[in-house]
Amino acid sequence: MNELRVENITKSFKISKKQQKNSKSNVDRIVALQDFSASFKEGEIYGLLGPNGAGKTTALRIIASLIKADSGEIYFNDKNIYDEIYFYRKKVGFLTSELKLDDFFTPDYTFTYMSRLYGLSEEETKANKEKLFNRFGISAFKDVKIHDLSTGMKQKVSLAISLCNNPDVIIFDEPTNGLDIVASKDVEDYLLDLKKENKIIIISTHIFSIIEKLCDRVAIILKGKKVLEGELKEVTKDKSLDNVFFDLYYKEQGHEEY
Ligand SMILES: Nc1ncnc2c1ncn2[C@@H]1O[C@H](COP(=O)(O)OP(=O)(O)O)[C@@H](O)[C@H]1O
Ligand SMILES: [Mg+2]
């Protein structure tokens, strides 16, 4: 049974002069994420909900080991991920709808290339490719240069490629951002399938309906801090998710009433 846990992760960034000017302050660092802890289970979709700039992408990038936290630890099956980072990275898929692919290559070539980087065998690569390309309706386009594909198809190819290592942990930053409606539906359905396959799934979004449709548990994050976490059903027992969110949001802004 896979289990992933993060403990007290904090991350700050040095900010540019321009950012400093825009925020009208003279501090030169911003705390993007503060003391974030959570644990993630198999067969569950966990959603990080928060407005722009809340720290969602930062949290997900740290959990995926794309960047390092300033402090705090991440444990996969009770082992610190940095003790065996290559093992961990093989288990993780980081997805974003903003991933750019190289226009001059085909989906088939790109998938194989990425799978080789993961050190997968030819057989595994072939099996994963067939499964994902069929699932996303890419098979008929697998030999077409990415440049010549429709936007929706490009997006689906980029998702399939992000999943080429058949990861146990799927971290998906803003799953349907910028996707066309058909690709969005595909992605949502696919996440629910992955949940049935007992994957650990963590998503971030600023869209209430995505959390409502997909997530078992939700955390609300504001200005780098987790301000609420719970089973979606519990959190939305008395009010709708957007009411829960805005109550917290305006409280954080210092307005008790609105
Ligand atoms: N590489 C970076 N350099 C400087 N500031 C950053 C960097 N990455 C994120 N930030 C800042 O950290 C905060 C959180 O950003 P982010 O995690 O991208 O939020 P979200 O994904 O919730 O919109 C924002 O204020 C953002 O401007
Ligand atoms: Mg983000």
Task: Tell me if 65 is assigned to some domain.
Answer: yes
- Rounded CA separation 2/77 (Å): 6
Confirm whether 103 is domain-assigned: yes
Ligand 1 near 63 CB (within 6 A): no
User: How many domains does the chain divide into?
Assistant: 1
Report yes or no on 219 lying in a domain: yes
Task: Report the distance separating Cα 22 and Cα 25, nearest Å.
Answer: 8
Ligand 1: atom nearest CA of 52 is: 23
Q: Which atom of ligand 1 lies nearest, measured to the CA of 174? A: 21
State how far the Cα of 190 lies from the Cα of 192, in Å rounded to an integer: 5
Ligand 1 proximity of 54 Cβ (cutoff 6 Å)? yes
Ligand showing the shortest atom-to-Cα distance for residue 32: 1
- Confirm if 156 and 113 have CB atoms less than 8 A apart: no
The span from the CA of 139 to the CA of 108, in Å, is 9
Q: Which of 162, 244, 199, 33 is nearest to 191 (CA)?
A: 199
Nearest-CA residue for atom 14 of ligand 1: 55
Q: What pLDDT digit, counting tens, does each position of 191-247 carry?
A: 999 999 999 999 999 999 999 999 999 999 999 999 999 999 999 998 999 999 999
Is 32 inside any structural domain? yes
Q: How is residue 214 written in tokens? A: 């997909």
Report the distance separating Cα 182 and Cα 122, nearest Å. 31
Q: Which atom of ligand 1 is nearest to the CA of 59?
A: 17
pTM of structure? 0.92
> What pLDDT, on the 0 to 100 scale, is given for residue 193?
94
Q: Which ligand is nearest to the CA of 174?
A: 2
Output the pLDDT for position 256.
53
The pLDDT score that the predictor gives to residue 208 is 95
Looking at the domain assignment, is residue 258 inside a domain?
no
Q: What is the pLDDT of residue 255?
A: 60
Please give the residue range of the domain that contains residue 92. 3-253
Q: Can you give the CATH number for the domain in which 100 is found?
A: 3.40.50.300
In the DSSP assignment, the letter for residue 5 is: E
Pick out the chain residues at pLDDT < 70: 255-258
